[in-house]
Amino acid sequence: EAGVVQSPRYKIIEKKQPVAFWCNPISGHNTLYWYLQNLGQGPELLIRYENEEAVDDSQLPKDRFSAERLKGVDSTLKIQPAELGDSAVYLCASSLSRGRGTNAMVLDTQYFGPGTRLTVL
C-alpha cells in the first residue's frame, strides 16, 4: 500500500514569491492534515480536513496561507507571499477517521508523508 505522497520534496524560492505544496493521502483515508515543522521542533498542526471540509484551521495564518481539498482526496497548501520565516518542513498526514457517534474513544493513527522542505531566500 502506498503511503502519503508529497511533492515537491524540496523547494527554494525568493521572499515575496508564491509557493504551493501538494499532498496525496493514503487511499481511503478521509482525514488529511497539514503540519509545519520548524528546525529542531516538533510538528505543529496548520489545518485538518475531514473529507473536503476544513474542520480545524485555527492555526493557519490566513493572511498568507491557504489550503484546499476540493474532491476530498488530494490537497494543496499555498503560501502567498512567502516570507523568510516560512522556511521549514511542511508535512502532510492522513488518517481513517471513525464515524461520529462511535463508542471507541480512541484517537485515529496519523500517517505522515516525507514532507516538503521549503527554503525562502
What's the min distance (Å) between Cβ of 86 and other proteins? 19
DSSP notation for 53-108: EEEE-TTS-TTTEEEE-TTSS-EEEEESS--GGG-EEEEEEEE-PPPTT-S---PP
C-alpha cell at 121: 531566500
Nearer to other proteins, 27 or 109 (CB): 109
Chain position carrying cell 496548520: 46
What's the min distance (Å) between Cβ of 46 and other proteins? 10
What's the min distance (Å) between Cβ of 118 and other proteins? 15
Nearer to other proteins, 28 or 40 (CB): 40
Nearer to other proteins, 27 or 58 (CB): 58
Residues found near other proteins in the complex (CB under 8 A): 3-4, 6, 31, 33, 40-45, 48, 56, 91, 93, 95, 97, 105-115
Question: Please, are residues 117 and 13 in contact by the beta-carbon 8 Å criterion?
Answer: no
